[in-house]
Chain A
């Protein structure tokens, strides 16, 4: 049970970063953390049954379910792409406005339009 609670806490930390923090970079951190929490959850629960790595060769028995691991590899790759893209956008916003604070960025962009 304790392991699930820890994963839940990690998830909440990420959510707090994503919503509570005003800094764009910290928001991206938050997103990475909630993504990581779900990955850990999948791997943890998927690895409970079975003990050997799922390499299907003669003599290998009692393997863990390979599907969650394959899914999470994909999810990690997607997470990296999303993080990279978000950081690139944060950088462009900083270049345009000179700030990483989302409220300030919005204000300065609005001023620029008027």
Chain B
């Protein structure tokens, strides 16, 4: 197959395809929007665009798989310009993995949107532009190109958040836009600092030029590094930079929420690892990220447990789960920058959890979205009997309930679902660090909070909750919605069963074949006892949260003041902290 593929295009052309095909698809869909507007032809062009943009990139990934598996990579300059002015990109194992993560969730979420909305070529166009920017972000090795990719990514996501047409979504998108555009100005300042020092923009030549400077660039280099890292950290929503996420993710259309939570907060993180690994001082920045990640994992789950809006609860869980990813990622970047090969195991565990989280959180957003749409109620304490309501709206078998159960069991890390495997990998690599304890407690909170969320499918109490028989809104079950949910649910189960194998596969791709990860022992007595303990403790915590005191604390956390200024205060705090942290370790 590789032979045929190479007779069509060179590897470096194939490597461009995950970026180029979604753009081509967006153009096709835009054609429908601009010239045809309505009717079967418009849908034909729109669906063709989605097929080109979301399905065909898998072909490119399949063609490139043997190359990256053998430890190879494609490094090229777009348009064959001279290295001095051209934009360089790199397609290696990391790019391949991040692309795979992006296209698996983006494809299914788009399918869901066909049934559940938002519909139309305009939505598909923006959606495909976002997919293209995701792939470009994963491959870039050039600072300014990273800036452009992040801006395109952001711009597409602001528009997609507002496509739910809720007034609250406009405020959420406005706040998100303001704080992230301001952060990108600081990113540009960082680019300015490094360009002034080195006169170049690609990561490798910046690193080479800084090494030649007597003091490694001094404070200018440190502040620039902090500016760039803080701007990316905002996109990843690590604490304290998480304030924009809950509203944006909770008020976006369900399909968009799935992509935002599943993919969009992780791609910038893995793109940043390329930069940090190249830069002097990047390891220290990674370490601080890792510590912040552990705190995020616990803090996010505490706030999530106190929420009553179903989707907002899921959004806070995204923050918590990205905390898990970042804590292992940060430790991995730090270890690799010191030259320790164990960093590959840490990074692989981080990616494994990022990928599995994308699958199960995408699934959770879609199924909870279906349930809350059918019942026209989002309050976790009010909505009951969602399964019965869905049955009335035309779902013959309880597919949504089953899919939700798979997602909830995955995120609560129960065997044999995929969350169990990735959390086992995380605890395996983080054992002995203080972050491990934080993640362990966060695991208990996660279980408690999903016992609470599962209540929406519980049968209604007499006289309370929404009566399933009474006024049903005009909701009907759609085949596309069911298919998207079923595929993601199957992926959660399959990737859980194949987990240990997949973990080794990720390790091989990330290290370019240099490092092989030990066998992950999953089903020994120790880890099963631990899982049982977490579930038990989670149930106790759930019961505690239902007591009078628990409810008062929850209300206090839920109604804490959250405003526009807080976002900027948090960004200043993050930027200042990062600068001090890196300079402390570099100049002590």
Chain A residues with CB under 8 Å of chain B are: 18-19, 24, 27, 31, 34-35, 38, 41-42, 45, 65-68, 70-71, 74-75, 78, 81-82, 85-86, 89-90, 92-93, 96-97, 102-103, 105-106, 109, 112-113
Taking a contact as CB atoms under 8 Å apart, the answer to whether B167 and A96 are in contact is yes
Q: Can you give 19 contacting A-B residue pairs, CB < 8 Å? A: A18-B182, A31-B178, A31-B182, A31-B185, A34-B185, A35-B181, A41-B189, A65-B199, A66-B85, A74-B148, A75-B147, A82-B155, A82-B177, A92-B170, A93-B167, A93-B170, A103-B563, A105-B171, A109-B168
Residues of B contacting A: mostly: helix
B399 located at the interface, meaning its Cβ lies under 8 Å from any Cβ of chain A in the complex: no
Contact with A along B168-202 (1 / 0, CB 8 A): 10110110011001100100110110011001010
Q: Which of B168, B170, B185, B191 contacts A89 (CB 8 A)?
A: B170
B477 located at the interface, meaning its Cβ lies under 8 Å from any Cβ of chain A in the complex: no
Note all chain B residues with C-beta closer than 8 A to A67. 85, 195, 201
Chain B nearest CB, measured from A41 CB (Å):
6
Note all chain A residues with C-beta closer than 8 A to B147. 75
Chain A nearest CB, measured from B115 CB (Å):
26
> Which residue in chain B gives the minimum CB-CB distance to A112?
B167
> Which residue in chain B gives the minimum CB-CB distance to A19?
B568
Taking a contact as CB atoms under 8 Å apart, the answer to whether B181 and A41 are in contact is no
Taking a contact as CB atoms under 8 Å apart, the answer to whether A89 and B162 are in contact is yes
Taking a contact as CB atoms under 8 Å apart, the answer to whether B182 and A68 are in contact is no
Taking a contact as CB atoms under 8 Å apart, the answer to whether B155 and A68 are in contact is no
Chain B nearest CB, measured from A42 CB (Å):
6
Note all chain A residues with C-beta closer than 8 A to B185. 31, 34-35, 38
Note all chain B residues with C-beta closer than 8 A to A71. 144, 191
Q: Tell me the count of chain B residues lying within 8 A, CB to CB, of chain A.
A: 32
Contact A106:B563 (CB < 8 A) given known A75-B188, A89-B162, A93-B171: yes
B517 located at the interface, meaning its Cβ lies under 8 Å from any Cβ of chain A in the complex: no
Taking a contact as CB atoms under 8 Å apart, the answer to whether B174 and A86 are in contact is yes
B565 located at the interface, meaning its Cβ lies under 8 Å from any Cβ of chain A in the complex: yes
Chain B residues with CB under 8 Å of chain A are: 85, 144, 147-148, 151, 155, 158-159, 162, 167-168, 170-171, 173-174, 177-178, 181-182, 185, 188-189, 191-192, 195-196, 199, 201, 563-565, 568
Taking a contact as CB atoms under 8 Å apart, the answer to whether B170 and A96 are in contact is yes
Contact A24:B174 (CB < 8 A) given known A34-B182, A112-B167: yes
Chain B nearest CB, measured from A114 CB (Å):
11
| Whole-angstrom CA separation of A105 from B191 in the bound complex | 35
| Whole-angstrom CA separation of A105 from B171 in the bound complex | 8
| Whole-angstrom CA separation of A75 from B568 in the bound complex | 22
| Whole-angstrom CA separation of A103 from B563 in the bound complex | 8
Taking a contact as CB atoms under 8 Å apart, the answer to whether A38 and B155 are in contact is no
Note all chain A residues with C-beta closer than 8 A to B564. 102, 106
Chain A nearest CB, measured from B85 CB (Å):
6
Taking a contact as CB atoms under 8 Å apart, the answer to whether B158 and A38 are in contact is no
Interface centre among A82, A93, A113 (most CB of B within 10 A): A82
| Whole-angstrom CA separation of A26 from B136 in the bound complex | 33
| Whole-angstrom CA separation of A23 from B271 in the bound complex | 35
| Whole-angstrom CA separation of A113 from B192 in the bound complex | 44
Chain A nearest CB, measured from B140 CB (Å):
14
Note all chain B residues with C-beta closer than 8 A to A85. 155, 158-159, 177
